[in-house]
Amino acid sequence: MKGSNRVVSTFILNMCAESIPSKVVQYEQFLNERLKTDLRQVLDQRDKLYGEVAEYLQLKTVIERIKESNFKTEGLKTKVDLGCNFYVQAHVPDASMIFVSVGYGFFLEMTHDEAISFIEKKVSRINSNIETLTKDAVKIKAHIKLVLQGLQEIQNLDVEPEKPYRDVLS
C-alpha cells in the first residue's frame, strides 16, 4: 500500500506540474484580455467625463462674463466654429438668453441664471459618475495586482516584499 501511495502522489505532482503552465497562460490571458481592457475602458469613460466637466465649466465662465458686461444692450460680437476649426464672425443682437445642450441632441433656451444653475447641477452629477468610475478603476487595479501575485506564487517567483519607508526623523 505504501508503494502505491507514492505512485499516486508522484502522478498527482506530475499532473500539477503539467497543468501549471496552462494555468499561467489562462491567468495571463485573463489579465491581458479582460482586466486590462476593462481598466482601459473605465479610464477612457472617466476621461470623457472630465472633458465634459471642463466644457461645462468653460461655458459657465463665459456666461458669467456675458452677465457682468453690457452685451444685453450692445449685442455680442463673437467667432463661431462651423466645424473642423473653421470660424466665422457672428453678431448676437440680444445676448440675454443662451441655448444650452441638455443631452440627447436637445438644446434649451435659458436665461443666464438658469443656465448657471443647470450647469452646476450637471457638473455635480457628472462628478458623481466620475467618482463611481474611479472606484471601479481602483477595484480593477486591485484585481490586476491579485492576479499578478497569484501568477508569482504559481511560478514560484521570489519577489522582494515592499520595504516600508524609513522615517527620517527617527
Residue type, 124: S
CA atoms within a 13 Å half-sphere pointing along the CA-CB vector of 133: 19
Question: Into how many domains does the chain fold?
Answer: 1
Give the whole-angstrom CA distance, residue 38 versus residue 155.
Answer: 25
Question: Is the separation of the CB atoms in 42 and 133 below 8 Å?
Answer: yes
The kind and range of the H/E element at 143 are helix 112-154
- CATH code of 42's domain: 1.10.287.370
> Residue 137's domain spans which residues?
9-154
Judge whether 162 lies within some domain: no
Judge whether 165 lies within some domain: no
Judge whether 87 lies within some domain: yes
Judge whether 57 lies within some domain: yes
Phi/psi for 109 (5° steps) reads -80, 125
Whether the pTM exceeds 0.75: the reply is no
- In order along its 170 residues, the chain shows pLDDT tens digits of 444 334 333 434 444 555 667 777 888 888 888 889 999 999 999 999 999 999 999 999 999 988 888 766 677 888 988 989 899 999 888 888 889 888 899 999 999 999 999 999 999 999 999 999 999 999 999 988 988 888 888 777 655 556 665 555 54
Judge whether 166 lies within some domain: no
Judge whether 19 lies within some domain: yes
Give the whole-angstrom CA distance, residue 147 versus residue 154.
Answer: 10
Judge whether 143 lies within some domain: yes
Q: Which of 154, 21, 133, 33 is nearest to 146 (CA)?
A: 154
Question: Is the separation of the CB atoms in 166 and 65 below 8 Å?
Answer: no
Give the whole-angstrom CA distance, residue 58 versus residue 122.
Answer: 13
Judge whether 3 lies within some domain: no
